[in-house]
Copies of this chain bind each other. A is one copy, B any other.
Amino acid sequence: MSHECSFLEDLSIDGAVSFGDTARANHATDWVTDVTETGVSPDAVVWPESTTDVSKILAAANERKIPVTPYAAGTSLEGNPVPVFGGVSMDMTKLNRIIEIRQNDLQIDVEPGVMGSAIDEAAAEYGLFFPPMPSSANISTIGGMIANDASGKKTVKYGEVADWVLELEVVLADGTVIETGSKAIKTSSGYNLKNLLIGSEGTLGVVTRASVKLEGIPEQIKGGRAVFPTMDDAAAAVFDTVRSGVDVAKIELIDPVAAKLANEYLDTGLPDQPMIFFEFHANHGIDDEIEFFRSILESHNVHTFEIATDERMEQLWRARDDLAFAAEQYDPKLSPRHPGDVTVPISRYPDIIRYAKSLAAEHDLLLPCFGHAGDGNLHYLALVDPTNEEMIKTAEEVYGSIVERALEYGGTATGEHGIGMGKRRFLEAEHGPAGVEMMRRIKTAFDPNGILNPGKIFPESDRTSNGARPETSG
């Protein structure tokens, strides 16, 4: 099929093009998508090196109605950058310059291929940091974070990525370049295209530059760990903490199964009990705030409450951040299914955990639960025997039942990973047919030929907007 994409060679762009099997295979998957399941790979891979490159590629592909799927670190969890209809995989990782730090405005301008950790490193030189950074900072790009409206451990205090993006340069499907947002920290000017593009998973346009806000690193940072006799106690403690307005900067739940995985992987020595890892940020008064927090936890039967040293805390966060790796390594006979990412109003957090645990028990599944508890965000993944079809089917059913329950609670199918391929079947349940129809119209307004990352977000049955490969004319 590569002849269809041969136009890439005639574009006189600065970036490289490959039709090779290795490059194509490398761009056929994300973190969890099994290429043997999708059976597709892109026809070509291109690495643009400038906005002009991106514009030329999109204009030419749009003319020929050839799909273009932006790709960066490939650490998505819902198949978001998998080019299910072939065409061009546009790898954004050569657009990886930190353009400017404006320390006086607490702002940084970056290209989409910059790694999260590179932003925090550059910012740290000025005493600044990027607050909504996801746990995957070391392995994911700012472009990917914007495409999925990612969030992270500090979201409970600071908000999600969308809250920190001020201005975007975006190339539209036909190659037109727009700038949206403002370098002012608030604006009421015109329609909010910026927030529409954030989280649109590369289906409406391709970000080529982002101006994001930074924040001063707080003068005081203290973290620690609290251990509870039961998950009910731990979940209720989180709920009560949020409800009481404790100014916590991170509050993560780790269940005993997740603790076991972490111990196997990193020798962390975590107890076999439900835990909260937490962190506080303040310029002043941090100890009083932590005491306030401790008093709330004590009313929920906390039996160990400890403030950790910096070294120990780093180890604990590492254990938390590496849970995905830990799940992969735990048992050679078991393979993790793609992690759930439901988010519910905080009052239902204890309920959704109880429900997940009851399903795991009922079906005898190893189902570690963890996540950004203060946001009401629950991650869960079943460890299954990949040769056991019955077990896989059960795991998928459990996965779906938890999503459906989250929607019943007024929550969302995805707090931070996006819809991608994996959650398309829940879109209409969450937004209603009329809501999905308005999304479809927006898709058509931005991308009339349906070339941008087709086969994502919209229901699988959708044949009108981007559920099918567009007919090619080139």
Q: How far is the CA of A106 from the CA of B374 in the complex (A)?
A: 13
Give the Cβ gap from A474 to chain B, nearest Cβ, in Å.
Answer: 24
Q: Which residues of B contact A148 (CB under 8 A)?
A: 188
Most buried by B among A103, A151, A163, A192: A192
Q: How far is the CA of A15 from the CA of B173 in the complex (A)?
A: 45
Interface string of A235-267 (1 = CB under 8 A from B): 000010011111100000000000000000000
Please tell me if the beta carbons of A180 and B345 are within 8 angstroms of each other in the complex: no
Interface string of A178-219 (1 = CB under 8 A from B): 111011111111111101101110001000000000011010
Residue on B nearest A105 in the bound complex, by CB: B345
Please tell me if the beta carbons of A344 and B199 are within 8 angstroms of each other in the complex: no
Interface string of A339-383 (1 = CB under 8 A from B): 001011111000000000000000000000000000111000000
Please tell me if the beta carbons of B343 and A184 are within 8 angstroms of each other in the complex: yes
Please tell me if the beta carbons of A186 and B160 are within 8 angstroms of each other in the complex: yes
Q: Which residues of B contact A200 (CB under 8 A)?
A: 191-192
Q: Which of A303-311, A323-331, A410-418 contacts B (4 or more CB under 8 A)?
A: A410-418
Contact of A457 among B190, B218, B411 (CB under 8 A): B190
Q: Which residues of B contact A216 (CB under 8 A)?
A: 244-245
Q: Which residues of B contact A242 (CB under 8 A)?
A: 106
The answer, yes or no, to whether A232 is at the interface (CB within 8 Å) is no
Q: Which residues of B contact A59 (CB under 8 A)?
A: none
The answer, yes or no, to whether A332 is at the interface (CB within 8 Å) is no
The answer, yes or no, to whether A176 is at the interface (CB within 8 Å) is yes
Give the Cβ gap from A443 to chain B, nearest Cβ, in Å.
Answer: 8
Most buried by B among A286, A412, A427, A436: A412
Q: Which residues of B contact A415 (CB under 8 A)?
A: 184, 186-188
Give the Cβ gap from A432 to chain B, nearest Cβ, in Å.
Answer: 6
Contact of A178 among B159, B188, B246, B438 (CB under 8 A): B438
Please tell me if the beta carbons of B239 and A193 are within 8 angstroms of each other in the complex: no
Q: How far is the CA of A410 from the CA of B285 in the complex (A)?
A: 36
Q: How far is the CA of A451 from the CA of B436 in the complex (A)?
A: 22
Please tell me if the beta carbons of B288 and A419 are within 8 angstroms of each other in the complex: no
A456-470 with Cβ < 8 A to chain B: 457
Please tell me if the beta carbons of B243 and A104 are within 8 angstroms of each other in the complex: yes
Q: How far is the CA of A195 from the CA of B436 in the complex (A)?
A: 15
Q: How far is the CA of A151 from the CA of B187 in the complex (A)?
A: 10
Q: How far is the CA of A267 from the CA of B237 in the complex (A)?
A: 50
Please tell me if the beta carbons of A411 and B182 are within 8 angstroms of each other in the complex: yes
Q: Which residues of B contact A283 (CB under 8 A)?
A: 245-247, 285, 288-289, 292
Please tell me if the beta carbons of B442 and A183 are within 8 angstroms of each other in the complex: no
Residue on B nearest A203 in the bound complex, by CB: B191
Q: How far is the CA of A344 from the CA of B344 in the complex (A)?
A: 36
Contact of A285 among B103, B188, B192, B284 (CB under 8 A): B284
Contact of A417 among B106, B184, B188, B218 (CB under 8 A): B188
Please tell me if the beta carbons of B285 and A416 are within 8 angstroms of each other in the complex: no
Q: How far is the CA of A186 from the CA of B411 in the complex (A)?
A: 9
Contact of A184 among B150, B292, B345, B436 (CB under 8 A): B345
Contact of A193 among B178, B245, B346, B435 (CB under 8 A): B435
Known: A105-B346, A196-B195. A427 touches B182 (CB 8 A): no
Please tell me if the beta carbons of B186 and A432 are within 8 angstroms of each other in the complex: no
Known: A185-B346, A192-B195. A434 touches B282 (CB 8 A): no
The 27 sampled A-B contact pairs (Cβ below 8 Å) are A103-B243, A104-B243, A104-B346, A149-B192, A150-B188, A172-B434, A172-B438, A179-B431, A182-B343, A184-B344, A184-B410, A184-B412, A185-B345, A186-B377, A186-B412, A188-B419, A189-B430, A190-B419, A191-B196, A191-B200, A192-B198, A192-B200, A193-B442, A284-B288, A284-B289, A285-B288, A438-B446
